[in-house]
Amino acid sequence: MSRTPSQLVDQKEPGELMAPTPGLLGGVRSPSKHDSGPKHVTGEAVYIDDILEPFGTLHLAPGAATIAHGKIVKMDLSKVRSAPGVVCVLTADDVPGVNDVSPAHTHDDPVLPDGIVQFYGQPVFCVAAETREQARNAAKLAHIEYEELPAVLSTEEALEKQQFVAPPHVMAQGDAVSALARAKHRRSSKMEIGGQDHFYLEGQITFAIPQEDGDVLLHCSTQHPSEVQHNIANVLGRPANAVTVEVRRMGGGFGGKETQASQWAALSAIVAVKTGRPAKMRLDRDDDMVMTGKRHDFIVEYDVGFDDDGRICGLDIQYATNCGFSADLSAAICDRAMFHTDNAYYLGDVEIRSYRCKTNLVSNTAFRGFGGPQGMVAIERIIDEIALTLGRDPLDVRIANYYGINDRNTTPYHMTVEDNVLAELTDEIVTSSDYRKRRADIAAFNADSPVIKRGLSITPVKFGISFTTSFLNQAGALIHIYQDGSVHLNHGGTEMGQGLFIKVAQVVAEEFQIDLDRIKITATNTGKVPNTSATAASSGADMNGMAARDAAITIKNRLIAFAAEKYGVAEAAIRFVPGRVMIGDVADVEFADLVKQAYLARVSLSATGYYATPKIHYDRETASGRPFYYFAYGIACSEVMIDTLTGENKVTRVDICHDVGRSLNPAIDRGQIEGGFIQGMGWLTSEELWWNDAGQLRTHAPSTYKIPACSDRPEDFRINIWNPGRNVEKSIHRSKAVGEPPLMLAISVHRAIADAIASIGDGKVIPMLDTPATPEAVLYAVAGVAKGMIARHHDTIVAAGE
Amino acid sequence: MTIPVADLRNDIRFLFGNEEHSLRDIDPQMTVLNWLRLSARKTGTKEGCGEGDCGACTVVLGEPDGKGSMRYRTVNACIQFMPTLDGKQLLTVEHLKSDGGNLHPVQQAMVDTHGSQCGFCTPGFVMSLYQLWLDGGEDDRGAINDALAGNLCRCTGYGPIIEAARKAGGISAKDPVEQKRRVDISARLNAMVDDAPMLALETPVGRYFAPRSSDALADLLVAHPDATVLAGGTDVGLWVTKMLKRLDPIIYIGDVADLKSVREQGGVLTIGAGVTYSDAHDALGLIAADVGELVRRIGSRQIRNAGTVGGNIANGSPIGDTPPALIALGARIVLRMGNVRREVALEDFFVTYGKQDRARGEFVQSVIVPKPTAGTQFKAYKISKRFDQDITAVLAAFSIRVEDGKVTEFRAAFGGMAGTPMRAKQCEAAVIGQDWDEASLTLAQQALSRDFAPMSDMRASKEYRMLVAQNLLTKLYIETTVPEIATRLVGREAAYV
């Protein structure tokens, strides 16, 4: 079936909301403020470390390994145990159940290592003391002797030794080898992509409170309460029903609290159960950065063939990924990098290989984008190389490679792209950013400016929405209406700042047609909604919004049936309008009144809701299927300046046009776009992870690891939520997920820096710019282009001499 | 020890909001943040990093301005020790709501602009915005950037917070109610400590002295030559929060009145060792625009409000943002032990990594900075991964005088190139007396590789350090010979002064 792009965005179903419902405070599409906003600004919002501690609370601190790989031959903790305030010291022997918190059941993530240390800084023991200061002081007193084993500290070495945490994986379409052989032009190169620390402002923390029967309640800063629950039950050797996990809010997550919360939760749970005292483990920032996983760093090697128009006609690409010492979520993350090798482009004949390398470094984990960003960075550099090789504008090469609507629309994993809005987004950004004219202006500026160079780039984003592990695409919710008509809302999603709670509450407000302030948003709790998936993959609002809506509809239908019977009207004649329920032309009652009447008539006012994403399926054996329900799209135009003497760089202007479908909350969505972009910009510019030769991370605090600061936000930053946006799939109110996709808009910054560097070589030498584009990386790329120019000049002279 | 015990006081007196506190038997190295969260149970102020970098713990300190009113500044509670609150007013996020429960204008603006997402950094931002508000508000993006450089937000991308800063506006210093409030608070604080004896805590876990004069300081240091001298605590604080050190005794110089002055006389600037970067900024900026820009980029507003120029010298950092600039300017420092004072050239004070020319019991009293004479150009360049609030990878500072095309004076000092801030003497020698042209530039660059053998670390590789140091000579050359060429990404205003 063929559809034109405008049909894709303009269709409207009966009853579909284009704007907020008049008279309703805080329904969908309204820019409702973050529910915790007033509490954030007064300091009244309670984070886990703010919970009033019961008498007797113990505080935990980890003791860290000081080698990257080796056997523990002696661990003398006597001084630790006898230090002031110390109540108990845990080692691997103290784990009552299974000593493992691996998220994908790979059994390679010990709570505390049993004999073998696998990375520098790995916690090898844990101290519980009366105060946190005492615990931290005591942890310094251990005497540990190791027998060092060879440590693999680089991805290259792991690849060479074929040391993997998961088997290599291949994805292919057509025949890349012969396509490359046939290609008129061909380029091959290598790119290094750096990792990224999450730098959530609230570090990892769990507060464990012992319950009767040896059960435990965990206040845990985690995106995945169910996983923490199941892991901790295993660690304690207890059934899952012995452990309850509650999360009211996190001080940021970004993927770093998906699997990485379990270890600290496990340690505090063990102490709580063992001592019968509440136990809190809050990592110091430096320990947090050393001991928890980060965004994966990649080495990408590629060989691309293309025609005179810059159209890719064959691609062979290989990812070698530093997964660290254990598998964690690396397999799925590496898969997602493969899924996003195409970004917005039809690759035709392609082979994608992925190696999941095992190193003696901290185990890398989920981070906003989940591998997608790394895949996209590589293809965007490839596109720029093609453009420079052919002397064409990079934007034109991008457009030439975009997925088609009716043809050239199958991905390397054999899914048809059905919701492509790239052409419209591109038209809009080219106009709104005045791209063509600014390119000319910049060329003129650069011609006259020997030291400072400017660069400009437009890059698109197409990001697949759904967990690629299909069974994870399910969610649950629980709604109660009390006799006064006030609503208690609960669901499996967690609030890490992204505005999930307010969005879901808006969905419920819309369904019941009641003002938002009638709905109490409550902490995520495994005792209320069980077996949830992580709040991850941008899926929070999509899935929990649907589940909550399902619960609301269940109750609403009961109210309708009750009212229809009581007032003797047809069910179809009953309408919920703001604050009231119209019962045909017989009655018009306040929502709260109807609720009270229903209660008195013994109608259940509590319901669970459930949602499973439709349409998706994926066969990993053949690397084909439809892993994504739909795609989220966006496009950005970034302008930068670089200093060619120092490599310093600065983003001066950014224009964004992003598709959020029909926004559930444009204010929240805008915040996600802007924040995601800046976070991506940090990843690609100033955020650099640096290990010394011993495998010790030396950038383990904000003094050495530089996330964007206020002045790094571009002076001129124009964010446009794409107005015609609409999800062609039946997502919650036709909105689109927005958590991760905007991060990748920042790739335009990296490409703009490369563009500025290329100007030194008059666009004839390709800058080999890796990520992050620190001053050092930029200066080397500048030097590379300058050398290339000398070489070209030399070639010309030689050619002339012949 | 010459101070009689009767002249000592063993309680810390401060206002917490409007509430008078007098604390005894408190661990002298307890941080303000820990006191707030663990003792006072005011948990609005957050710990994000424990090293004064993320700003989640930002609080506002008020102190009498010496003119009967108050001045307010932000500091990082995580590295500020409790006794340093003596005689001050501590304001936290809990103090901002009105008695009737209304949000303060900066809080309301943050809510209205969607300025919080996860909310963890928010109290710190609110306090930085509050300080801006107390100072009359700010609309200029650059000034807002400066005020917020020490507050990291990982969620919002800063846009809504910048908007909140503009939207909140500020209070006029002439507002009669506010004026009276400040006069009252100032009077209360003065009454609490002005005529009280010197603060001297002697607790089972450590001692803390806060002399009021440099004579008293000199005596104390003779009596306790191994004491930790505490100024702003922006370095010493981390010895406690990160290295878990016990410091005993601590001698705090923040209350030494005669170390807090900046004087100018006969083209020479004398900066007392207790002067904060914030208070020294204007005077240093007048020496040369690049010095001002350099000071602006040290740490953050919170750090500059606490950290001192003297402390930056005394701690002997190999980078030391101000020392290379001061060395290039030909600065000298005055050291004092007991009643003996001596003066040394700043470059000679830095002996080697971790070792300075300071004897036990001796302290840095002041820095003497000669202003460049007319015709001498001064340029300083700070290279770091991030423009604001980053520790320097390489710092280059040049003082150059060119007469009739020939270099008659040239002082080149670098940070991050050796174990201490250091002059590049071979580089200087290669240029002095030569024509200021590309040939001597090349010689200077070659000489630099003989002056220094930098090392690789997390901030930069040794190769980059050398390359960029050489390129900064090129930049100096361009700026002093073809000034119309654009050469700066930040502080451009400065470059063209």
Give the CATH number, domain containing residue B315: 3.30.465.10
Give the CATH number, domain containing residue B48: 3.10.20.30
Residue B227 lies in a domain: no
Residue B250 lies in a domain: no
Tokens coding B409: 């004076």
Domain co-membership, B272 together with B359: yes
Interface check for B148 against chain A (CB to CB < 8 A): the answer is yes
Query: Do the Cβ atoms of A222 and A228 come closer than 8 Å?
Result: yes
Continuous segment of H or E residues that includes residue A334: helix A330-339
Q: What is the arithmetic mean of pLDDT over A611-621?
A: 96
State how many domains chain A has: 3
How far from chain centre, in Å, is Cα A689? 19
- Of the listed ranges A18-22, A522-526, A551-555, the least confidently predicted one is A18-22
Residue B244 lies in a domain: no
Among residues of chain B, what percentage have pLDDT more than 70? Answer: 98
- The span from the CA of A671 to the CA of A677, in Å, is 10
Residues with Cβ within 8 Å of A631's Cβ and at least 6 positions away in sequence, in order, are A417, A419, A420, A462, A463, A464, A465
**Number of H-type helices and E-type strands within chain A:** 20, 29
Q: pLDDT class for A10, splitting at 50, 70, 90?
A: low
Digit-coded pLDDT (tens) for A165-221: 999 999 999 999 999 999 999 999 999 999 999 999 999 999 999 999 999 999 999
pLDDT at residue B173 in the model:
82
Domain co-membership, A679 together with A753: yes
Domain co-membership, A644 together with A573: no
Give the CATH number, domain containing residue A499: 3.30.365.10
A713, B158: Cβ pair inside 8 Å? yes
Active site residue A740: yes
Given a cut of 90, is residue A108 above it in pLDDT? Answer: yes
Digit-coded pLDDT (tens) for B431-450: 999 999 999 999 999 999 99
| pTM flag (> 0.95) | yes
Among residues of chain B, what percentage have pLDDT more than 90? Answer: 94
Q: Which of B491 and A277 is assigned the larger pLDDT?
A: A277
Given a cut of 70, is residue A2 above it in pLDDT? Answer: no
- The span from the CA of B453 to the CA of A498, in Å, is 48
- The span from the CA of A536 to the CA of A543, in Å, is 11
A717, B159: Cβ pair inside 8 Å? yes
Give the CATH number, domain containing residue A226: 3.90.1170.50
Average pLDDT, rounded, for chain A: 96
- Which of B325, B354, B370 terminates a domain? The answer is B370
pLDDT at residue A802 in the model:
41
Digit-coded pLDDT (tens) for B340-381: 999 999 999 999 998 999 999 999 999 999 999 999 999 999
Side by side, the strands of the sheet bearing A350-358 are A164-173, A350-358, A312-324, A297-306, A185-193
Interface check for B405 against chain A (CB to CB < 8 A): the answer is no
Q: Which of A183, A468, A164 is nearest to A316 (CA)?
A: A183
Given a cut of 90, is residue A9 above it in pLDDT? Answer: no
Which residues on adjacent β-strands are paired with residue A430?
none
Digit-coded pLDDT (tens) for A353-373: 999 999 999 999 999 999 999
Digit-coded pLDDT (tens) for A538-562: 999 999 999 999 999 999 999 999 9
pLDDT at residue B490 in the model:
86
- The span from the CA of A317 to the CA of A302, in Å, is 4
The shortest C-alpha distance from B155 to chain A (Å) reads: 5
pLDDT at residue A716 in the model:
97
Given a cut of 60, is residue B495 above it in pLDDT? Answer: no
Domain co-membership, A442 together with A344: yes
Domain co-membership, B356 together with B383: no
Domain co-membership, A250 together with A354: no
Q: pLDDT class for B491, splitting at 50, 70, 90?
A: confident
DSSP secondary structure letter of residue A54: P
Residue A704 lies in a domain: yes
- Of the listed ranges A441-455, A615-629, B306-320, the least confidently predicted one is B306-320
Question: Nearest CB to B478: which of A137, A451, A776?
Answer: A451
Domain co-membership, A311 together with A356: yes
Alpha helical stretches, state H, B198-262: 214-223, 236-241
Given a cut of 60, is residue B463 above it in pLDDT? Answer: yes
| B95: containing domain | 13-193
State how many domains chain B has: 3
In chain B, the residue whose alpha carbon lies closest to the alpha carbon of A689 is: B458
Given a cut of 80, is residue A795 above it in pLDDT? Answer: no
Q: Which of B435, B201, B415 is nearest to B318 (CA)?
A: B415
Strands B250-252 and B228-230: parallel
Domain co-membership, A536 together with A561: yes
- The span from the CA of B382 to the CA of B390, in Å, is 10
Digit-coded pLDDT (tens) for A473-489: 999 999 999 999 999 99
Q: Which residues of A fall within a CB distance of 8 Å from B141?
A: 715
| Residues 230-249 (A) with a CB less than 8 A from some CB of B | 249
How far from chain centre, in Å, is Cα A60? 29
How far from chain centre, in Å, is Cα B170? 25
pLDDT at residue A789 in the model:
77
Q: pLDDT class for B218, splitting at 50, 70, 90?
A: very high
Residues with Cβ within 8 Å of A759's Cβ and at least 6 positions away in sequence, in order, are A442, A443, A446, A453, A454, A455
- The span from the CA of A113 to the CA of A122, in Å, is 8
Average pLDDT, rounded, for chain B: 95
DSSP secondary structure letter of residue A364: P
Domain co-membership, A647 together with A600: no
φ, ψ dihedrals at A586, nearest 5°: -90, -45
Domain co-membership, A95 together with A20: no
pLDDT at residue A396 in the model:
98
Give the CATH number, domain containing residue B477: 3.30.390.50
Q: Which of A385, A389, A397, A395 is nearest to A434 (CA)?
A: A395
- Of the listed ranges A254-258, A311-315, A579-583, A762-766, the least confidently predicted one is A762-766
Given a cut of 90, is residue A315 above it in pLDDT? Answer: yes
| A664: containing domain | 297-468+620-793
Q: Which of B59, B127, B145, B458 to mutate to test the interface with A (most CBs of A within 10 A)?
A: B458
Residue A437 lies in a domain: yes
Among residues A424, A740, A776, A802, the one annotated as catalytic is A740
Among residues of chain A, what percentage have pLDDT more than 90? Answer: 95
Given a cut of 50, is residue A1 above it in pLDDT? Answer: no
Complex ipTM over 0.85: yes
Residue A798 lies in a domain: no
Residue A538 falls in which region: left (phi positive, over 0), alpha (psi -120 to 50) or beta? left
- Which of A612, A642, A672 terminates a domain? The answer is A612
Given a cut of 70, is residue B115 above it in pLDDT? Answer: yes
Q: Which of B303, B383, B385, B394 is nearest to B54 (CA)?
A: B303
pLDDT at residue A796 in the model:
57
CA atoms within 13 A on the CB side of B32: 32
pLDDT at residue B494 in the model:
42
Given a cut of 70, is residue A794 above it in pLDDT? Answer: no
